[in-house]
A and B are shown apart, each in its own frame.
Chain A
């Protein structure tokens, strides 16, 4: 055994991996400093962020004034943003003119909205079958809560405003335009001549006209056509126009999904003896809609942001409340604060929708 002195018996000490190949250093090397041009780009971006972010944070947070009774007081207190305008008018931004004593109804409707949405959006919810029943009843519940009936005093829709108005228009438009859009898409591919022509004409007409025009029609022209004495609620007119507008776009998005279906799917369904509606419901639409999810959510987000156009016809959405507020000489001139605040609200809503759509795509992903 003498000759074995050259053999090391102790186990070699395990060295940590090179510092550049693990953890944060590895990530930095791979993502930020992988090549000379990447290094340059990284430093340029860091420099630009350095120029933008600290002054913005100073303005928005560190030097900002949160409580004041007027803009002049803001000027005396700090150099940054005057969030006091948003703080003092917060209720108006949320509810518009909705009567103060009835605002609990809007709050309740808002909370119930999530109860109604949950079983529709997520399939892991306990008692989902029962909750779906509530989702279907929700429009009626929300209508009674927001507008009145069953002992609740009536609130005119003209008093809706702010985020409440945005959410009412956005959610109604989204939930009403999806089924309508599906029907239009199917109609456009129908073998029945009249249905096909009607659907094509409708889609092409609505898509060929800007939403603003439709809103103007809703706000002014429709009243000429109505029998005298009927005052057709402006909000309802707007809801109808927004829904029709969005449905026309959705129909085209969904048609894209339908056309991506291989003919074999239709033929397979037919060979099983499935009638038209069962073919669509069980075979075609589940696949076509899945393909269309990014496009559909894209349309929803566009619709949600388009709700701000209603200011043109005098409805006080958050931007309208902002304008009415900024016309008060107490707060005049704080448009940056107001617009940033409204932008944050819209970003949160739209980002939420986009995240949900990404989650749904992963969940329905069957290509593996």
Chain B
């Protein structure tokens, strides 16, 4: 009996250590695809198109990683994850990278032992109200009923905001955006609060968007980004630099239209390093020399991804705001590629 227990314990230990310490890149190469965790559905960030393919801002990052590793954005499989299962799936090794509008927080980084590889969207929590209420600021919301998604950071932020301002509110707990939308439209809550990207999507889906206003206050920082497991820095670096080159490509004017032309060599050494005509940079990550070319060919640069999925010309209609490159007054900034 004791032997059996020892055996099981050893097996469990082996399982845990191998999950934590395995060379994810080798595993990914061996199975032939990147397993990417995405949302079960969030407008602009992850949704199914008419052909049944997943599309969206978060999904494009998955494509970029697949293109970086395999040179083929199609070498990719998705696992749909809810807010409750996303971290467990990553920690248990069911997915290689999680790209599911996840806020980078202290406890998630340290307590849950996850590695955020950067921020691909600086979001913040806001409020949407019906114009007929005549509310112009979140400070006028004393006594309001608020639709709030349970189990998210937004729920805690909301409580903090109202407590700090000495106001009361009546929470109306809901599970997802769609439910919030229905409750809000039916008047069961005066206000709906979630990340402003979500509010923009909700507002766009209303029959008369102009009757509703997103209040100016932003009550929280919600830096959303992709993440990987603790314990495999090489894989974390691949995920991190896939994000960085998307941002760098925008800075240097590299996009899906001109990347192949620029990859033949330019006068700009940084571009040459990124696109593989100078130095041996791909090998440092264990990737192909032209991995950045593959990424940009597959999904374009950050601006292209943004504009295609959530930008001003889409139904979501978000402006770049703080998510503009630092060259344009935003805070997107990636370290140099050298």
Q: Using CB atoms and an 8 Å cutoff, list the residues of chain A in contact with chain B.
A: 71, 75, 88-89, 91-92, 96-97, 158, 216, 219-221, 223-229, 231, 311-316, 320-321, 323-330, 332-333, 335
Answer yes or no: B47 CB below 8 A from chain A CBs: yes
CA distance A224 to B15 in the complex (A): 7
Q: Judge if B145 is at the interface, Cβ distance under 8 Å.
A: no
Let me know if B93 is at the binding interface, CB within 8 A. yes
Cβ-defined contact, B178 with A312, below 8 A: no
Let me know if A223 and B94 touch, CB within 8 A: yes
Q: Is B275 an interface residue (CB 8 A)?
A: no
Nearest B residue to A88 via CB reads B50
Q: How far is the CA of A89 from the CA of B80 in the complex (A)?
A: 19
Contact A333 B201 (CB under 8 A): no
Interface status of B41 (Cβ within 8 A of chain A): yes
Question: How far does the alpha carbon of A312 sit from the alpha carbon of B22 in the complex, in Å?
Answer: 29
Most central of A75, A92, A326, A332 by chain B CB within 10 Å: A332
Instruction: With both chains docked as a complex, state the minimum distance between the C-beta of B188 and any C-beta of chain A, in angstroms.
Output: 15
Name the distance in Å between A330's Cβ and chain B's nearest Cβ.
Answer: 8
B178 touches A326 (CB 8 A): yes
Contact with A along B182-211 (1 / 0, CB 8 A): 100000000000000000010011110000
> Which chain B residues have a beta carbon within 8 Å of chain A's beta carbons?
11-12, 14-16, 18-19, 22, 39-44, 46-50, 52, 54-56, 77, 79-82, 84-85, 88-89, 92-94, 176, 178, 181-182, 201, 204-207, 314-316
* Main secondary structure on A side of the interface with B: helix
Q: Name the residue on B nearest A220 (C-beta).
A: B88
List the A side residues contacting B93 at CB < 8 Å.
223
Contact A89 B50, beta carbon cutoff 8 Å:
yes
- Shortest CB-to-CB span from A297 to chain B, Å, is 30
Chain A residues in 8 Å Cβ range of B84:
216, 312
Contact partners of A97 in chain B: CB under 8 A: 52
Closest 10 pairs between A and B when the two form their complex, measured CB to CB: A327-B41, A329-B315, A327-B47, A220-B88, A314-B80, A332-B205, A228-B18, A333-B205, A223-B92, A323-B41
Residue contact B40 to A219, C-beta cutoff 8 Å? no
Contact B50 A216 (CB under 8 A): no
A326 to B, closest residue via Cβ: B178
Find out whether the CB atom of A314 lies under 8 angstroms from the CB atom of B92: no
The distance from the CB of B145 to the nearest CB of chain A, in whole angstroms, is 21
Q: Which of A75, A224, A328 contacts B16 (CB 8 A)?
A: A224
Take A75-B207, A223-B94, A225-B15 as given contacts and tell me if A92 and B52 are in contact as well, using a CB distance cutoff of 8 Å: yes
| B43/A328 in contact, CB under 8 A | yes
- Known contacts A219-B88, A327-B48; can you find 5 more A-B pairs with CB under 8 A? A314-B79, A314-B80, A324-B48, A326-B178, A327-B39
Q: Report which of A91, A225, A231, A327 forms a contact with B42, defined as CB distance below 8 A.
A: A327
CA distance A228 to B205 in the complex (A): 45
* Chain B contacts for A313, CB-based, 8 A: 82, 85
**Candidate in A89, A158, A220, A321 with the most chain B CB atoms within 10 angstroms:** A220
A327 proximity list for chain B (CB < 8 A): 39, 41-43, 46-48, 56
Name which residue of chain A comes closest to B48, CB basis. A324
Chain B residues whose CB sits within 8 angstroms of the CB of A323 once the complex forms: 40-41, 176, 178
- Chain A, Cβ-Cβ closest to B55: A328
In the assembled complex, the CB of A314 is this many whole angstroms from the nearest CB of chain B, namely: 4
Q: Are B315 and A332 in contact (CB under 8 A)?
A: yes
> A332-B204, A333-B205 are contacts. A219–B85 as well, Cβ < 8 Å?
yes
Q: How far apart are the CA atoms of A88 and B92 in the complex, in Å?
A: 37
Contact between B89 and A220, CB atoms less than 8 A apart: yes
User: Which residues of chain B are within 8 angstroms of A91 by Cβ–Cβ distance?
Assistant: 52
Query: What is the distance, in angstroms, from A355's C-beta to the closest C-beta of chain B?
Result: 33
CA A97 to CA B43, docked complex, whole Å:
19
A226 touches B49 (CB 8 A): no
Smallest CB–CB gap between A6 and chain B, Å? Answer: 81
User: Which of B40, B182, B205, B315 is in CB contact (< 8 Å) with A324?
Assistant: B40
**Of A88, A158, A313, A315, which is in contact with the most chain B CB atoms at under 10 Å from its CB?**
A313
Chain B residues, Cβ within 8 Å of A89 = 50
CA A221 – CA B19 in complex, angstroms? 14
Set of chain B residues within 8 Å of A332, measured between Cβ atoms:
43, 201, 204-205, 315
Task: Given A323-B178, A329-B315, A332-B315, verify A228-B85 contact (CB < 8 Å).
Answer: no
Say yes or no: A228-B14 contact (C-beta < 8 A), given A313-B82, A321-B48.
yes
- A158, A224, A324: the one within 8 Å of B41 (CB): A324
Residues on the A chain within 8 Å of B315, using CB = 329-330, 332
Instruction: Name 19 interchain pairs, CB-CB below 8 A, sorted by A.
Output: A91-B52, A92-B48, A158-B79, A219-B85, A225-B12, A227-B15, A228-B22, A314-B80, A316-B40, A320-B41, A323-B41, A324-B40, A327-B47, A329-B204, A332-B204, A332-B315, A333-B178, A335-B178, A335-B181
B332–chain A nearest beta-carbon distance, Å: 24
Q: Hey, which chain B residues are within 8 Å of A229, CB to CB? A: 18
In the bound complex, CA of A323 to CA of B39 (Å): 10
Complex-state Cα separation, A49 to B201, whole angstroms: 37
Which A residues touch B204, using CB under 8 A? Answer: 329, 332
Query: B79 and A328: CB pair below 8 A?
Result: no
Please tell me which one of the listed residues B41, B80, B82 contacts residue A326 in the complex, with CB atoms under 8 A apart.
B41
CB distance from B182 to the nearest CB of A (A): 6
B233 to chain A, nearest CB (A): 20
Q: How far is the CA of A327 from the CA of B202 in the complex (A)?
A: 10
Q: How far is the CB of B17 from chain A (nearest CB, A)?
A: 9
**Within 8 Å CB of B49, what residues of A?**
328
Residue among A225, A314, A321, A333 making CB contact with B206, cutoff 8 Å: A333
Instruction: Please judge, given known A-B contacts A219-B89, A332-B204, whether A320 and B80 are in contact too, CB under 8 Å.
Output: yes
Whether A324 contacts B47 by the Cβ 8 Å rule is: yes
**Identity of the chain A residue whose Cβ is nearest the Cβ of B19 in the assembled complex:** A228
CA distance A221 to B88 in the complex (A): 8
A228 and B15 in contact, given A329-B204, A329-B205, A332-B315 (Cβ under 8 angstroms)? yes
Residues of A within 8 A of B201 (CB): 329, 332
In the complex, the answer to whether B48 meets A328 with C-beta atoms within 8 Å is: yes
* Chain B, Cβ-Cβ closest to A319: B40
